[in-house]
Chains A and B, each alone.
Chain A
Amino acid sequence: MYLPSKIRFKHASVLALFIFLLLLPFKDLIGNVFIFFSRQFLVIPRKISQKTETLKKKNLELILQLRAFKNLKEENERLRTALQFREERGADFIAAQVISFDPSSWRRIVAINVGTKQKIQPGLLAVDEEGYLVGKVIEAEAHYARVILIDDPDFSLPVFVGEDSFGLLKGTLKGARILYIENEELIKPNDEIWLRTPYSYSVIYAGQVKQVKRGKHSLFWEVQAKLFAKRPFLHTIYIVR
């Protein structure tokens, strides 16, 4: 009989260890599923009211920042006109639903439900709901397009690192790295990895520096990047036009 009261302590501890090791490779999956369902079904009124207060305060801070930026923008435009720079415009986003994924686990490519009819073209960047880079458009047909995600091995994009350095952001299946960094002294851990969209003021952040290293016979430094975009379950992305 395998009653719990009949199981000796040492057998129970071995069983518990086995179950723990069995579930350990799935911890990310279990955590994300739990978070997803707890968000759907749990209602905590006190936390919601606290969150509302925090959001109101953040809203006020953003209003004040916006006023300051408006002044800076007007000054910037006067200077650009004086120096005859080309015209820029604000970023234009279009929301897109993810309709399918590439069937291979070695590819990180998704198909979205917008295409050339919505002025989507290859090369446009894709961000998540918090504005962090998730990928770029690689193919566009009339009613759908394909987006390569940032951690696909074929993804590459020139980016800035910190204030003074730039390199090539390249995907690896577990994250991303930046190649062709010439001077390691200009970069330190937690420096932001960012880029600007063409024809707009918008700055898009991709992640931050995690580690800087160089191979024995390599000319350039390589940066391990920690990506900002979390995307536990990818449903909606925003294309920056």
Chain B
Amino acid sequence: MKERILKISWGLAVLLMLDLIKPFSYWLYTEFLFLGIIFLALNYPLRVSFMLACVFGYLRGCLSYPVSSLSLIEFALGVILVHYLRARFQQRAARIGIVFAMLAVHVGLNSAQRGGAATLFILLFFIHSFWVFVLLNYLFRKWTRVSLEEYI
């Protein structure tokens, strides 16, 4: 378990770096760290995922301009919400719904904070984020050796 926690921590650090350097500039509408937090919440126990979500939410907030605590609160509460939904809906298909729900919450919070966003932007954000999550989920599952019964 310790090895898995260490690996996911490194993985989230890499995702935070990807968000900062944005290798595809603004042509890829997604936030890698947030997708990593969703993976973390879906595949790790509550205590571990809550702590890591708080740490990386705080780091992300510090690196934003202006410095904001929205990421810390959003990631922490998001992890709790995901665990609640996971306990409530056990089916595999429900987990895909949880991913979309988390994306919707993220879009709603950020759009409300910024005073709105273009419809096309939101639609592209959903589509790009979902497919990047599918890719990230596959890679992280292999790397952190999440078992077949556990993964989404």
Contacts and interface: CB of A to CB of B under 8 A. Distances in A.
Interface of A: 22, 25-26, 28-29, 32-33, 100-109, 138-139, 146, 153, 172-174, 231-234
The 10 closest A-B pairs by CB, nearest first: A103-B19, A25-B127, A29-B27, A101-B22, A106-B110, A174-B118, A173-B121, A100-B20, A106-B114, A233-B25
A25 B63 CA distance: 29
Q: Which of A33, A103, A107, A138 is most buried by chain B, counting CB atoms within 10 A of its CB?
A: A103
Given A29-B28, A234-B25, A107 B117 contact: no
B21 A101 contact: yes
A110 to B, nearest CB: 9
Contacts of A109: 65
A106 B19 contact: no
Contacts of B114: 106-107, 153
B64 A105 contact: no
Given A29-B24, A104-B110, A174 B120 contact: yes
A144 to B, nearest CB: 12
Contact of A100 (B21, B111, B115): B21
Contacts of A153: 114-117
Interface in B38-71: 60, 63-65
19 contacts: A22-B131, A26-B128, A28-B27, A29-B24, A29-B28, A32-B27, A103-B20, A103-B31, A103-B64, A104-B64, A105-B31, A105-B125, A109-B65, A138-B65, A153-B117, A232-B25, A232-B27, A233-B25, A234-B26
